[in-house]
């Protein structure tokens, strides 16, 4: 494609694009005229005035705000790529945080950054030596003193300085609570969660945060710590607890301070013994990291320009990541601040240690066995772009392709034991037939409290435990003679999950969980029959009742072998509401095969 690097990088939003079929695309200081039929498609449904329904490939402008191949655009608009472009900061809007947990009022939050007229493209750093991010529970007093001084200086910066602590916290709010509209698709916000943007956005966010801290203490080798909550000793690091420290945040769940062990299963607190909680945590990490072998299941579903947000989270994002946010956030606060809500999560210094460990999972995942454990090679992912202010207050446009290798950015992680690598769950009873009538006497809310319902008609409101058979596609399922990169992954897909964005919802998913053992103990993460969970972290924006529509996908190939049912034509799926009963609907449940 022709280079357009000399074009201005900022667009003027068209005032009423659904009525704008005039063949002109406006920019600040420049007007380009093209043939209308070749550039702008007016395929909008006039009956639906709430959403501008254009074919995004007809009208897309390119990466980071540049016109993407003007010559090619006129000749073949359907050949355009569709990465999410970096936002126009001048179009940032107030984020509206919706009620949580019975609060009846909305709250407006101004989390827009200062606007700069100059944007520079990211240049990879010249790495003279690797900065190693330390495990937070292992840091010494010398490091802690330096870290506290850096954060103190960041907190003392002028509130309008884009490097200040509140401005840095607002970065997360703006990208996560829908403050930025997509370029040319103003009805669609930019949302970096529940999609393949999750890992690269947060990696880059922490990179610039870390560089700012290092600049403030004149130490270019400074590295932020990570909280390895995936460890059996996954308690909140002590360095964040002292109330006189700049690392402290008052809006945390006081019952979860050390020595309380983190619950990586999310939702409400449970009454598990410490030993069983450790086992569950390790089993959950095994599911998210070892059993998840292909990119789309690890990173999340594709999210392209013009698309609706929240197509589907990857395994870590939807699992342990959300669980830690909920576990740390203060449920006595009206919006579960700070960590318990996207808009405020960055206001807690522990957020950055939490996400450093999430970022560490990306590094670890790519080192695990299997040829498919690689970064996504789709250009729409690689060329998606974000804007961040760097340590010198320069506004920088950076793309996903710039952050695939943390060592190329100059940092890596201190090595610690990874005990979950071998923590495979065990079946409660291998090969049992789940179609027989479940035993009576189960406690309310347990997975076995419902009989199989093969007359279920989707969509359903999940207000009770439901169990139903799901047919497996008729195709060859054998792995004999197939290479690793030729195998398709069998997946369980829960489609069209709908709920209010602010709703605290959690439900568990089990497969063939029929069992009358263990004195009625419900299926849990330490059992192979437990597939995973859906958990929502409140992130409302806009009008009350704003809906989240998403998809949940689990890898089940290994699971079916563990259960001894890989030859079955049907499996029994159980959905168990744990929180927010009746607040979520399910559009469909199916089994599919995918190969990334």
The reported pLDDT for the residue numbered 483 is 56
Q: Is 172 annotated as a binding residue?
A: yes
The average confidence (pLDDT) of the chain is 82
Active site residue 541: no
Q: Is 539 annotated as a binding residue?
A: no
Average pLDDT of the segment spanning 284-291:
97
Active site residue 54: no
| Domain ranges for the chain | 89-422, 447-594
DSSP run (H or E) holding 150: helix 141-156
Active site residue 539: no
* Burial (CB count within 10 angstroms: exposed 0-12, middle 13-18, buried 19+), residue 10: middle
Question: Distance between CA 9 and CA 118 in Å, rounded?
Answer: 9
Active site residue 321: yes
Question: 474-513: buried (b, 16+ CB within 10 Å) or exposed (e) per residue?
Answer: eeeeeeeeeeeeebbbbbbbbbebebbbbbbbbbbbbbbb
Question: Distance between CA 218 and CA 392 in Å, rounded?
Answer: 12
Active site residue 172: yes
Nearest to 268 by CA among 511, 498, 101, 467: 101
- Fold matches, 89-422 and 447-594: no
Coil/strand/helix, residue 478: coil
252-258-262 Cα angle (round to 5): 75
Distance set, CA 288 to CA 365, 525, 566 (Å): 10, 12, 21
The active-site residue out of 147, 298, 342, 507 is: 342
Q: Is 336 annotated as a binding residue?
A: no
* Domain at 89-422, CATH class: mainly alpha
Active site residue 202: yes
Distance set, CA 277 to CA 35, 256, 261, 453 (Å): 63, 14, 8, 32
Average pLDDT of the segment spanning 255-266:
94
Considering 86-100, 182-196, 445-459, the range whose residues carry the highest mean pLDDT is 182-196
Q: Is CATH 2.60.40.10 what the domain over 447-594 is classified as, yes or no?
A: no
Q: Is the pLDDT of residue 279 over 80?
A: yes
In the chain, the N- to C-terminal Cα span, in Å, equals: 27
Nearest to 10 by CA among 22, 28, 26: 28
The active-site residue out of 137, 325, 336, 539 is: 325
pLDDT digits (tens, 9 = 90+) for 357-412: 999 999 999 999 988 999 999 999 999 999 999 999 999 999 999 999 999 999 99
Question: Distance between CA 342 and CA 544 in Å, rounded?
Answer: 16
The active-site residue out of 202, 336, 539, 541 is: 202
Question: Distance between CA 67 and CA 9 in Å, rounded?
Answer: 8
Nearest to 364 by CA among 318, 412, 300: 412
Q: What is the pTM of this model?
A: 0.84
Is 187 or 245 the better-scoring residue by pLDDT?
Answer: 245
pLDDT digits (tens, 9 = 90+) for 562-591: 999 989 999 999 999 999 999 999 999 999
Q: Find residue 97's DSSP bridge partners.
A: 107
Is residue 113 very low, low, confident or very high in pLDDT (cuts 50, 70, 90)? Answer: very high
For residue 315, count other CB atoms closer than 10 A to its CB. Answer: 25
Question: Distance between CA 87 and CA 396 in Å, rounded?
Answer: 12
Phi/psi of residue 246, each to 5°? Answer: -65, -10
The reported pLDDT for the residue numbered 335 is 85
**Contact at 8 Å (CB) between 573 and 458?**
no
Active site residue 325: yes
Question: Distance between CA 244 and CA 302 in Å, rounded?
Answer: 43
Is residue 551 very low, low, confident or very high in pLDDT (cuts 50, 70, 90)? Answer: very high
The active-site residue out of 91, 172, 354, 539 is: 172
Q: Is 137 annotated as a binding residue?
A: no
Is residue 537 very low, low, confident or very high in pLDDT (cuts 50, 70, 90)? Answer: confident
Question: Distance between CA 141 and CA 388 in Å, rounded?
Answer: 31
């Amino acid at each position: 494609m022709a280079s357009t690097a000399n074009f201005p990088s900022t667009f003027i939003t068209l005032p009423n694009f659904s009525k704008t079929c005039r063949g002109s695309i406006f920019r600040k200081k420049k007007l380009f005229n093209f043939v209308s039929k070749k550039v702008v498609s007016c395929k909008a449904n006039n009956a639906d005035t709430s959403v501008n329904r254009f074919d995004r490939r007809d009208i897309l402008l390119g990466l980071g705000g540049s016109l993407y191949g003007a010559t090619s655009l006129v000749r073949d608009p359907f050949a355009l790529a569709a990465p999410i472009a970096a936002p126009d900061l001048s179009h940032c809007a107030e984020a509206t945080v919706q009620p949580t947990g019975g609060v009846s009022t909305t709250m407006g939050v101004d989390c827009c950054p200062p606007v700069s007229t100059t944007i520079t493209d990211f240049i990879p750093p010249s790495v003279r030596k690797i900065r190693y991010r330390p495990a937070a529970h292992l840091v010494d007093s010398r490091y802690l003193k330096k870290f506290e001084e850096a954060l103190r200086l960041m907190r003392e910066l002028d509130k309008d300085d884009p490097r200040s602590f509140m401005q840095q916290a607002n970065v997360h709010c703006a990208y996560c609570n829908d403050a930025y509209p997509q370029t040319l698709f103003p009805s669609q916000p930019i949302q970096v969660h529940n999609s393949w943007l999750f890992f690269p956005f947060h990696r880059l966010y922490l990179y610039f945060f870390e560089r700012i801290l290092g600049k403030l203490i004149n130490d270019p080798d400074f590295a932020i710590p990570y909280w390895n909550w995936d460890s059996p000793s996954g308690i909140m690091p002590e360095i964040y607890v002292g109330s006189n420290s700049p690392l402290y945040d008052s809006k945390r769940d006081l019952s979860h301070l050390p020595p309380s062990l983190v619950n990586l299963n999310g939702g409400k607190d449970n009454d598990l013994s410490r030993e069983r909680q450790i086992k569950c945590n390790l089993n959950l990490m095994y599911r998210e990291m070892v059993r998840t072998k292909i990119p789309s299941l690890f990173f999340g579903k594709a999210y392209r320009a013009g698309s609706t947000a929240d197509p589907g989270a990857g395994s870590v994002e939807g699992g342990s990541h959300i669980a830690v946010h909920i576990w740390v956030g203060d449920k006595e606060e009206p919006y579960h601040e700070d960590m318990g809500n996207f808009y405020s999560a960055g206001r807690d210094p522990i957020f950055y240690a939490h996400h450093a460990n999430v970022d560490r999972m990306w590094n670890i995942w790519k080192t695990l066995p299997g040829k498919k454990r690689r970064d996504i090679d789709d250009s729409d992912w690689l060329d998606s772009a974000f804007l961040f202010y760097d340590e010198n207050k320069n506004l920088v446009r950076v793309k996903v392709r710039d952050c695939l290798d943390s060592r190329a950015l100059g940092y890596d992680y201190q090595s610690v034991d990874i005990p979950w690598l071998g923590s495979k769950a065990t079946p409660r009873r291998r090969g049992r037939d789940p179609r027989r009538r479940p035993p009576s006497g189960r406690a309310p809310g347990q997975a076995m409290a419902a009989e199989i319902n093969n007359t279920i008609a989707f969509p359903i409101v999940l207000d009770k435990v439901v169990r139903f058979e799901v047919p497996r596609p008729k195709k060859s399922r054998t792995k004999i003679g197939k290479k690793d990169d030729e195998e398709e992954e069998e997946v369980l897909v829960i489609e069209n999950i709908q709920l209010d964005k602010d709703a605290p919802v959690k439900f568990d998913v089990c497969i063939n969980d029929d069992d009358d053992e263990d004195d009625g103990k419900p299926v849990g993460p330490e059992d192979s029959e437990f597939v995973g969970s859906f958990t929502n972290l409140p992130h409302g924006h806009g009008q009350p009742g704003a809906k989240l529509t998403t998809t949940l996908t689990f890898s089940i190939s290994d699971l079916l072998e563990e259960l001894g049912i890989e030859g079955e034509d049907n499996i029994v799926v159980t959905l168990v509401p744990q929180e927010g009963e009746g607040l979520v609907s399910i559009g469909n449940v199916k089994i599919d095969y995918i190969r990334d």
